[in-house]
Structure 1
Amino acid sequence: MKPVIGITLDWQEKGSFSQRPHHALRTHYFEAVAAADGLPLGIPYQKELIGEYVERCDGFLSPGGECASPAEWYVDEEQKNGKGGSPYAPSPRVAFELELTMAFLQSGKPVLGICQGMQQLGGLHGCRMTGDVHSYLKTELNHAPGVVPPEEYAYEVRIEKGTQLYDIIGKETLPVNTAHREALVTAGPDVVLSAHAPDGCIQAIELAEYNFALGIQWHPEYFTDAKERGHMRIFEVFVASARFRF
């Protein structure tokens, strides 16, 4: 049997699909998990079912999104003054997904966070973040969505030797895409910073206290068919970790 990988669905109050609240998520996440021989399963926000979700899934993928994180995670001065440090609106996804993420971590099942999912993994474990990576880092490197198409590489990240990500990728550099305005800027006490962009922006984290808890700031799901195998290896090792558990 294929390991079941739960994937949090995103949420919109209204949009082109419906003028009423609905769930939606890009197909790339599901395709990447399936390509890695997993069985992807979308998870809606039924808080009372979190225990069932964790019991029935063998691993958890927290995908990207555009939601404001908890206010106390931000280091930006405007956030401290109560004016809001995130460019994004609050979403019911955040409170639900934070509880779901911790439930999966505490179960010992593998967790992969991508983009916003990485920021949530970090925030739950003492990392802090900025709502405007360009201003905070005073960088000329443009990380924002839409500057470079997500199907194209924007720069190379540097992967730290001795990390789980290095073991997965097998080398010190990897070309990646970029699509984020927010970013982690400090590490929690048990968080390993395993990859950085050329300007120092944190691009991957690992939670040392768990067997597999990996956060990736870029979007590897766009490169499952690429000649560069490093992106697909992330999903393959993640799904294999879930398979090993059952």
Structure 2
Amino acid sequence: MKPIIGVTTFLSESSKYSSVSKNYTDSIYAAGGLPVNIPIVANETNYEDYIDMVDGILFTGGNDIAPYFYGENPVKELHSMSSIRDEYELSLFKNAYEKNVPIFGICRGIQLINVALEGSLYQDIYSQVPGTLGHYPEHTASDEFYHSVQIKKDTQLYEIFGTERIFTNSFHHQSVKALGKNLVATAYSEDGIVEAVESTEDRFLLGVQWHPECMTKRHPMFLKLFHQFVQASLAYKQREVSV
């Protein structure tokens, strides 16, 4: 049986829709998982039933995380925020982390992981990090390579790609600043921006700053990330069944 992968959603500006890009669900399904969208439920902070239902959880891209969640006031370059989504995803993360559910974070997702584990963010890399190169091209297809990423050896990410340097797409203006608890940075862009984090503990917890879900059809190498995540989720499912 396929592992069930929970996929976080975002609220539309009218708050009428709790949805997500099809690229995420297509990539999970192509990697052998069964994607299930987890809706944002108003005034709900306990998502234990959803976590009990899934075998892995994917935190997707989207809004900036409100800086008061990591003890800062906003800079003027901050983009759209949704505290409703922040609280929803932080609750999901807490429940999933406590139960050792495999976790994969993409773009906003890596930032959510870091904040949930008491780390902080650069609210705007262009104004806060000297020498920052391009990370958010305009009028560029989402499956285009944009900049290089250097991957550390002896990491899960290196095992997945088998190389120290890859090219990725890029659509972000925030990034990891101070690392959260039990996290290690495993990849950087050439200007020093953190591009991936992993857990220092014996668990599957991986976050990447780019958008691999947009790349999997044109550049199948990125499906390896989803395969690894789905396999970890399958192993989790099998352990739960055997208990």
Alignment TM-score, normalising by the size of structure 2: 0.89
Deviations 1:75-119 (A, max 9, x none): 6xxx2xx66673223341110110101111111110000011100
Secondary structure of 1:6's counterpart equals strand
Q: Give the one of 61, 64, 69 matched to 1:67.
A: 64
**Aligned mates of 2:126, 2:45 — CA distance in 1:** 39
Tell me, what secondary structure is at the counterpart of 1:186?
A: coil
Distance 1:48-1:128 versus aligned 2 partners, 3 A rule: closer
Unaligned runs of 5+ in 2: 239-243
Map 1:221-236; keep pairs closer than 5 Å: 221-227=213-219, 229=221, 231-236=222-227
List structure 1 runs of 4+ shifted beyond 4 angstroms.
82-85
Distance 2:75 2:225 in 1: 37
1:1-20 superposed matches below 5 A:
1-14=1-14
**What RMSD over aligned residues (CA atoms) do the two structures have, in Å?**
2.0
Alignment partner, residue 162 of structure 1: 154
How many Å apart are 1:210 and its aligned residue?
4.5
2:224 paired with 1:237? no
Matches within 5 A, 1:24-39: 24-39=19-34
Pick aligned residue for 1:105 from 97, 119, 122: 97
Structure 1 residues 144 and 240: alpha-carbon distance in aligned structure 2, compared to 1, 3 A threshold:
same
- In structure 2, distance between residues paired with 1:160 and 1:58: 28
Tell me the residue number matched to 1:52: 49
Residues 110-149 of structure 1 mapped to structure 2, 5 A cutoff: 110-144=102-136, 146=138, 148-149=140-141
CA separation of 1:136 and 1:107: change in aligned 2, threshold 3 A:
same
Query: Which 5+ residue runs of structure 1 have no aligned equivalent?
Result: 15-19
- Range with bigger deviation, 232-241 or 133-142: 133-142
Identify the match of residue 23 of structure 1 among 12, 18, 37.
18
Return the letter of the residue paired with 2:182: D
* CA deviation map 1:2-52 (0-9, x unaligned): 1000001111232xxxxx522121110000000001000000123366111
The CA distance in 2 between the partners of 1:33 and 1:9, in whole Å, is 15
| Aligned residues of 1:108 and 1:210 also touching (Cα < 8 A) | no
Q: Which amino acid aligns with 2:18?
A: H
Aligned-partner SS, 2:97:
helix
Once the two structures are superposed, residues 123-150 of structure 1 have per-residue CA deviations (whole angstroms, 9 ceiling, x without a partner) of 1223211111111122351212536332
Identity score, percent: 30
Q: SS of the counterpart of 2:47?
A: helix
Aligned residue-pair number: 235
2:11, 2:227 → 1: CA distance? 27
Matched residues in 2 for 1:187 and 1:140: separation?
A: 19
Distance 1:147 1:189 in 2: 37
Deviation at 1:228, TM superposition (A): 5.3
User: Does structure 1 conserve the Cα–Cα contact (< 8 Å) formed by 2:150 and 2:164?
Assistant: yes
Q: Give distance in 1, aligned partners of 2:168 and 2:75.
A: 33
- On the 8 A contact 2:197/2:207 being kept in 1, the answer is yes
Structure 2 CA distance, aligned partners of 1:106 and 1:66? 25
**In the aligned structure 2, how far is the partner of 1:50 from the partner of 1:95?**
11
Change (3 A) 1:68 1:86: farther
Maintained 8 Å contact 2:45/2:88: no
Q: Which of 35, 38, 44 in structure 2 is aligned with 1:40?
A: 35
Contact 1:132 1:181 in 2 (8 A): yes
